């Protein structure tokens, strides 16, 4: 595994020649321009503009060009970007880092030369650590090259590029890469994320696997995305090598979106190689197209998030019923030995169910607690959190043995959907029965849901004392000098909705 790179200094004036012209796309400039223009013309261009990032495939154009065109067509031709960051996986070189190609002055395609922003490449390479320049990671890498003709054909003014090949899968390193790219993740720059999806399952398996992966990306949650990737890998789908060859660049994008706020992931289309006249149905490769657009009127996204979070406490009856169905199906899936990720009904996934907010799932058996696990804060869409917490409450609560098949039909499910945490400065602000409490002191913390007050009939002082002693591992009065946070919950259970 290579980790060391070379200096840019010895590479002054070098031009990267097209390595895949005549293989992945037409080699003649006239035929290539006509081919790309056809893909762009066939795409839906309504709502073009305000695009900050796209996720596009990098296969031969006869297989994936139509899908790639759907994303590039979302970019308004007159948009004047300062630069374009191209992020793709490494197909040719194995290395545990991120290589930025500042060794070239230009990348050439049959449609002409594209300048490289060597200054930004130098800025990134000087950060050291995982950042490197590995010439062999770029010389024969198709993932970045095949995106350039689309950009050249679409944009009236082609800005310089920053070519980046991501060789690491280490989450800590990807988080660091996202952090160091964050200052450039602005409306002035375009990020092009290059990735194909499922590799080599059957047509039917690819459609199913790619839908699960695409759903996680669409909801903009890096945690949900990486969990689906792991789930797919462990599902024993025949011939499935990977469900996203560009999972690392995609993860970096989702991490930057999480930090930036005010952005929306739009799914634009899907196909796989089996849909091409040149492809078969036995072993296919999947292709998605996405565009990331800035939400109008919310430059940082925080106002919209707060508004959405408050709406979590007016769930409709059908939304509650669907969450309860998801929770039960999550448990049934395990007990029935089903290795395929849960499938969700898109028509029932409302905006509220797609919000990121915390939730607890509580299980009762014959009126006794049988498991309870949750997240106080959301890091993925609510419906995915409920599915995960139901699974954890049934099979991972250390206080209980895993739920058995015989018990499942008698289990009663209760779901608590939580508001964002709010820090309070005095216990006088805590309202017994309305608020849940989170207390934090050093590395110790504990919480009680609001409904615990009604179940125990404790006074406020008893509620706080039990939480401090029994949940946070503090003294009975430890809450008095701990940090206190309150939250509210909408609680519902099977049989009442």
Q: What is the pTM of this model?
A: 0.69
Residue 147, domain member (yes or no): yes
The verdict on 426 and 404 lying in the same domain is no
The verdict on 117 and 149 lying in the same domain is yes
The verdict on 277 and 364 lying in the same domain is no
Residue 4, domain member (yes or no): no
The verdict on 43 and 82 lying in the same domain is yes
The verdict on 71 and 94 lying in the same domain is yes
The verdict on 14 and 148 lying in the same domain is yes
Angle between helices 247-260 and 171-181 (to 10 degrees): 50
The verdict on 400 and 337 lying in the same domain is yes
A 10 A CB-CB count for 177 gives 28
- Final residue belonging to a domain, choices 261, 296, 331: 296
The verdict on 310 and 292 lying in the same domain is no
Residue 497, domain member (yes or no): no
The verdict on 427 and 354 lying in the same domain is no
- Final residue belonging to a domain, choices 408, 437, 465: 408
The verdict on 181 and 109 lying in the same domain is yes
The domain of 103 spans 9-296
Per-residue pLDDT of the chain (497 residues; tens, 9 = 90+): 444 455 554 455 589 999 999 999 999 999 999 999 999 998 866 667 789 999 999 999 999 999 999 999 999 999 999 999 999 999 999 999 999 999 999 999 999 999 999 999 999 999 988 999 999 999 999 999 999 999 999 999 999 999 999 999 999 999 999 999 999 999 999 999 999 999 999 999 999 899 989 988 987 778 888 888 988 888 789 999 999 999 999 999 999 998 887 888 999 999 999 999 999 999 999 999 999 998 754 434 333 333 333 333 578 999 999 999 999 999 999 898 876 678 888 889 998 898 878 899 999 999 899 999 998 877 788 999 999 999 999 999 989 999 999 999 999 999 999 987 888 999 999 999 999 999 999 889 999 999 999 999 999 999 999 999 999 999 999 999 999 999 888 899 998 87
The verdict on 322 and 386 lying in the same domain is yes
Per-residue CA distances from 383 to 179, 374, 451 (Å): 28, 13, 21
CATH number, domain of 362, equals 3.30.700.20
Instruction: Sheet with 359-365: list strands edge to edge.
Output: 368-375, 359-365, 412-418, 489-493
Residue 446, domain member (yes or no): yes
The verdict on 53 and 191 lying in the same domain is yes
A 10 A CB-CB count for 462 gives 14
Number of domains in the chain: 3
- Fill in the DSSP letter of residue 366: T
Q: Report the distance separating Cα 375 and Cα 439, nearest Å.
A: 15
Are 51 and 79 contacting, i.e. CB atoms less than 8 angstroms apart? yes
């Amino acid at each position: 595994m290579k980790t060391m790179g070379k200096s840019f200094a010895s590479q002054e004036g070098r031009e990267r020649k097209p390595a895949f012209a005549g293989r992945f796309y037409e080699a003649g400039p006239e035929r290539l321009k006509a081919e790309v223009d056809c893909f762009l013309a066939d795409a839906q261009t309504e709502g073009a503009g305000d695009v900050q990032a796209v996720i596009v495939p990098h296969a031969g154009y006869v297989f994936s060009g139509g899908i790639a065109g759907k994303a590039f067509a979302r970019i308004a031709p007159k948009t004047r970007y300062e630069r374009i960051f191209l992020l793709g996986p490494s197909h040719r070189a194995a290395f545990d880092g991120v290589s930025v190609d500042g060794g070239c002055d230009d990348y050439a395609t049959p449609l002409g030369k594209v300048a490289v922003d060597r200054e930004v490449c130098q800025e990134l390479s000087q950060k050291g650590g995982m950042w490197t320049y590995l010439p062999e990671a770029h010389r024969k890498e198709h993932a970045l090259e095949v995106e350039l003709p689309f950009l050249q054909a679409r944009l009236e003014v082609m800005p310089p590029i920053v070519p980046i090949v991501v060789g690491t899968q280490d989450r800590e390193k990807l988080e660091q890469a996202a952090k160091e790219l964050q200052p450039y993740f602005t409306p002035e720059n375009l990020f092009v994320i290059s990735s194909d999806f499922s590799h080599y399952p059957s047509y039917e398996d690819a459609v199913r696997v790619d839908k699960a992966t695409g759903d996680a990306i669409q909801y903009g949650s890096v945690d949900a995305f990486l969990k689906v990737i792991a789930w797919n890998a462990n599902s024993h789908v025949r011939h499935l090598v990977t469900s996203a060859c560009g999972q690392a660049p995609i993860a970096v994008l989702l991490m930057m979106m999480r930090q930036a706020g005010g952005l929306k992931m739009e799914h634009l289309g899907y196909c796989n190689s089996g849909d091409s006249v040149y492809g078969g149905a036995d072993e296919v490769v999947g292709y998605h197209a996405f565009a990331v657009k800035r939400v109008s009127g919310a430059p940082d996204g925080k106002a919209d998030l707060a508004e959405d979070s408050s709406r979590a406490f007016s769930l409709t009856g059908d939304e509650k019923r669907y969450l309860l169905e998801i929770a039960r199906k999550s448990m049934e899936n395990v007990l029935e030995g089903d290795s395929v990720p849960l499938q969700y009904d898109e028509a029932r996934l409302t905006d509220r169910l797609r919000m990121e907010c915390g939730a607890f799932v509580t299980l009762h058996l014959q009126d006794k607690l049988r498991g309870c696990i949750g997240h106080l804060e959301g890091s993925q869409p609510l419906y995915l959190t409920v599915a995960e917490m139901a699974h954890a409450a049934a099979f991972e609560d250390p206080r209980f043995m895993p739920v058995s098949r015989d018990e499942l039909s008698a289990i009663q499910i209760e779901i608590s959907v939580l508001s964002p945490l709010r820090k309070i400065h005095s216990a006088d602000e805590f309202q017994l029965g309305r608020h849940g409490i989170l207390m934090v002191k050093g590395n110790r913390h504990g919480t009680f849901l609001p409904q615990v007050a009604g179940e125990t009939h404790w006074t406020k002082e008893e509620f706080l004392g039990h939480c401090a002693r029994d949940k946070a591992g503090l003294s009975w009065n430890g809450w008095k000098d701990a940090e206190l946070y309150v939250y509210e919950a909408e609680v519902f259970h099977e049989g009442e909705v």
